[in-house]
A = this chain, B = another copy of it.
Amino acid sequence: MKGLIGVLGGMGPAATVDMFNKFVTFTSAGSDQEHIPLIISSIPDIPDRTTALMHGGASPFPVMADYMKRLEAAGAECIVIPCNTAHYWFSELKDACDVELLSIVETTMDEVVASGKRRIGLLATNATLYMGLYQKGIEERGLECIRPDEESQKQVMESIYALKAGELPRAKQMMVEQANALFARGAEIIVLGCTEVPVILADAVSANPEKYVDSTGALVRAGIRWYEERVGKRCLLTK
């Protein structure tokens, strides 16, 4: 159907809920019928992305491609993936995709550049860091990338996996500490470069939205803009 957006989710489920909620709350809609049409796959048996890249685990690519094609078959005309690490396979997925596929890394980098800040903190998975998904874009633009040190990065990963296991309070305590450490080291703004992180830091982001670039939020805004263009109608809430 015209303008249907497919969400290739489940990586993890809580981050997919967060994306869905942002699609609903970022939209200016006076009734049910004015909201953006979505079809969401939250089938979480996709092999762990970090384990595949860092520890030789099974590749998630075939399963991701399968679920992506099912969204296309259900009528999706544009696909978004609320998982940064999964974007390591972005160009392969794009090759396999017959409809529009938006990149979370590109849309997030657009918001980093638009912020005008120069010292950019980064909270992401080991694999996203190792693959340089964000550092490349940040450094190519002459900006400085501030990453957690080795010990701190262990805490970031522990926090992400705590959320995946449903332990939000523990996840939050660890992640707030790591965000504060990046600010203390001079970060002017922090890229939440893993879609679990905006869930974990929801209160901090809500209190100081200007201090964070939320990758999920950036991808949702790009999705809503794609929809506006497709159907010729304004619906992105810009308050």
Contact = CB atoms under 8 A, between A and B. Distances in A.
Contact of A29 (B20, B166, B237): B166
**Which 6 A-B residue pairings sit nearest by Cβ, starting from the closest?**
A12-B32, A40-B40, A37-B43, A32-B44, A38-B42, A35-B44
Given A4-B43, A42-B37, A11 B32 contact: yes
A4 B25 CA distance: 27
Identical chains in the assembly: 2
A208 interface: no
Interface residues of A, number: 43
A172 to B, nearest CB: 15
Contacts of A82: none
Interface of A: 1, 4, 10-14, 16-17, 20-21, 23-25, 27-35, 37-46, 48, 70, 73-75, 161, 164-166, 237
